Amino acid sequence: MKKSMKNKMKILVISFVLTVILVFVYDISQTKEVTTVISLQFDGIEKGLSPDDTRFEYNEIISEDVLKIVAEKANVKYTSELSEMISIIPSLPKNIVETIKTKRINGEDYFYYPNEFKIVIVANDKIGYNEKTCLLLLDSFKDGYEEYFVNKYKYPFINLREMLGYFNDVGNENSETVENTNNGNDLFDYSKYDYPEITKVFQNEFNMISSYLSVLIEDGPEFISSKGHTFKDLKETINLSKKLDLNQIDALVNSLSLTNDLDKLILKYKYMVKKYELNSSKKQNQYAVSEGMLALLESKESSMVVPIANGELITIKVLDDSYDTIASDATEFRLKAGGIDEEIKYLKSELDKLATSLSSSEKVVEGKKEVDSLVVNLNGKIKKWISMIEESSVEFFDDKYRDSVTLVKFAEVKKSSTKKNVAIGVFIMFCLFIVLSKVVKNK
């Protein structure tokens, strides 16, 4: 009897040891998932919209562009296999799940746009993404996606320097005249333009800068930069300079009839006059045709008797349905013809000035030097304004989207269920005990 009990105890111990080994092997052989949870908070997410009012696609959170930034931040080499190992699961609060169920039972539609997402990576040692590497990646995921998000939605951020033609460092100190202001690729090439055209080019630049600032003012009216200025302050300063500097350049150019090539400019103005005269003639003809059609329609007008509030009857004129459209067209043709005629008048006055211009006089030479100097100075101002606007824009958007991406749960390895492992262990131990007992009994 004692020997039998002793054998059973041995069998039980052996079964337990083997069970522990088998459960351990089973546990480490299981696929390991590494997870983290992030939350998004910005205007529009509750409607399923991105900051630019387009549809928010949450799968973009784990796009290749995002994963490359995340891998760089985690100091992990990115490979395309990572895109196949990672997935994203929208998180729905329990009360929302219950609401959806209830609505569906009642035959009602209910839409909920999640703002919390679970990121899952299935670790795979064979391709270089073990548990440790996956933890590093998900530890950096929030910062990586936040960088991508802020860069993408810096709306309405634009690259003013590139748009205006200021590719590198604006304001080359060696630039002294309009002819050499484009030293390399430092400046917009003003040498392509004659003196009378310079202020028009600057005018376009001022308009683009002003339009961009207007959008920023509307988006962040209360924003104050780290240097103490608002977008409105910048716009007012730039508009003041626009008025003073451009007037100064224009005054010199017009009073001295400055030009690099007098004959070429005269030829250009004559061509423009001819072109405008043709356009004016065309608009005048269109206006005349429209007026004729209106007269024809008026001659065919009919009348209608209608009652008014006090019961009396009045007679009103009824015209063809196309009358209003033709009348509108006639007005437009007349206005355009008038605008073209004003431009023709201006160009002819400029041609009269150029006809008496003395391009080689000492006064003209000095005037050109002064205008060249004003252009270089204005370029320097524009360089500073662009830098200030860009720096302030970056500050504004960084502040605006600072808390748009938040971390809800730190990266962690999803562990096997303890209850499941215990159940498997008990089952294995029971089976081993039965089998080993039979083997000992047979011997």
Of 162, 167, 194, 196, residue with least CA distance to 178: 194
- Residue 422 in any domain: the answer is no
Is residue 225 domain-shared with residue 277, that is, in the same domain?
Answer: no
Count, residues in the chain: 443
Q: CA–CA separation, 287 vs 53, rounded Å?
A: 43
Is residue 146 domain-shared with residue 110, that is, in the same domain?
Answer: yes
Q: What is the DSSP string of 104-155?
A: HHTT--------EEEEEEE-BGGGTB-HHHHHHHHHTHHHHHHHHHHHHT-T
pLDDT score at 180: 42
pLDDT digit string (tens) for 369-422? 899 899 888 888 888 898 899 889 888 988 888 888 999 999 888 765 555 555
- Residue 413 in any domain: the answer is no
Cis peptide before 156 (omega within 30 of 0): yes
181 exposure class (CB count in 10 Å sphere: 0-12, 13-18, 19+): buried
- DSSP β-ladder status, 302-307 and 116-122: unpaired
pLDDT digit string (tens) for 319-365? 455 555 656 666 666 656 666 777 777 777 777 766 666 555 788 88
Is residue 309 domain-shared with residue 393, that is, in the same domain?
Answer: no
- Tell me the residue type at 403: D
- pLDDT above 70: residue 160: yes
Return the CA Rg of the chain.
Answer: 39
Those residues with Cβ within 8 angstroms of residue 9's Cβ, 6 or more apart along the chain or in another chain: none
Residue for token digits 């899952």?
Answer: 120
Percent of the chain whose pLDDT exceeds 90: 21
Those residues with Cβ within 8 angstroms of residue 61's Cβ, 6 or more apart along the chain or in another chain: 38, 88, 117, 119, 145
- pLDDT above 50: residue 98: yes
Answer for the pair 136, 75: CB distance below 8 angstroms, yes or no: yes
DSSP-assigned beta bridge partners for residue 245: none
Q: CA–CA separation, 278 vs 284, rounded Å?
A: 10
Top-confidence residue, 70 or 325: 70
Q: CA–CA separation, 399 vs 386, rounded Å?
A: 20
pLDDT score at 217: 92
Answer for the pair 353, 127: CB distance below 8 angstroms, yes or no: no
* Domain of 196, in residue numbers: 155-259+361-401
- Residue 419 in any domain: the answer is no
- Residue 199 in any domain: the answer is yes
Is residue 331 domain-shared with residue 283, that is, in the same domain?
Answer: yes
Q: CA–CA separation, 423 vs 403, rounded Å?
A: 44
- pLDDT above 80: residue 207: yes
Residue for token digits 């990121």?
Answer: 119
Q: CA–CA separation, 222 vs 95, rounded Å?
A: 38
Predicted TM-score (pTM) of this structure: 0.53
Count the Cβ atoms, other than its own, within 10 Å of residue 62.
20
- Residue 206 in any domain: the answer is yes
Count the Cβ atoms, other than its own, within 10 Å of residue 259.
21
Is residue 220 domain-shared with residue 245, that is, in the same domain?
Answer: yes
| Residue 308 DSSP SS3 | coil
Is residue 189 domain-shared with residue 278, that is, in the same domain?
Answer: no
- Residue 67 in any domain: the answer is yes
Q: In what order do the strands lie in the sheet with 116-122?
A: 86-90, 116-122, 33-40, 405-414
Final residue of a domain: which of 153, 186, 212?
153
Domain count, the chain: 4
Answer for the pair 119, 134: CB distance below 8 angstroms, yes or no: no
pLDDT score at 179: 42
Helix, strand, coil percentages in the chain from 3-state DSSP, rounded to 5: 65, 10, 25
Q: What average pLDDT does the structure give for the chain?
A: 75
Those residues with Cβ within 8 angstroms of residue 247's Cβ, 6 or more apart along the chain or in another chain: none
Q: Which of 111-115, 143-147, 216-220, 255-259 has the highest mean pLDDT?
A: 143-147
- Residue 423 in any domain: the answer is no
CATH of the domain at 273: 1.10.287.370
Of 192, 160, 158, 196, residue with least CA distance to 178: 192
Those residues with Cβ within 8 angstroms of residue 199's Cβ, 6 or more apart along the chain or in another chain: 246, 249, 250, 253
Is residue 169 domain-shared with residue 243, that is, in the same domain?
Answer: yes
Give the relative orientation of helices 231-256 and 195-219 as an angle to the nearest 10 degrees.
170
What's the whole-number mean pLDDT along residues 204-222? 88
pLDDT digit string (tens) for 166-198? 544 333 333 333 444 444 344 456 777 788 888
Is residue 14 domain-shared with residue 78, that is, in the same domain?
Answer: no
Is residue 341 domain-shared with residue 283, that is, in the same domain?
Answer: yes
| Angle formed at CA 71 by CA 66 and CA 72, multiple of 5 degrees | 100
Q: What does the DSSP 8-state code read for residue 161?
A: H
pLDDT score at 71: 94
List the helix and strand counts (H, then E) for the chain. Answer: 13, 6
- Residue 416 in any domain: the answer is no
Is residue 46 domain-shared with residue 142, that is, in the same domain?
Answer: yes
Final residue of a domain: which of 324, 356, 388?
356
What's the whole-number mean pLDDT along residues 144-154? 88
What's the whole-number mean pLDDT along residues 32-49? 89
Is residue 378 domain-shared with residue 254, that is, in the same domain?
Answer: yes
Tokens of 95: 């009360």
What's the whole-number mean pLDDT along residues 95-113? 80
Is residue 145 domain-shared with residue 54, that is, in the same domain?
Answer: yes
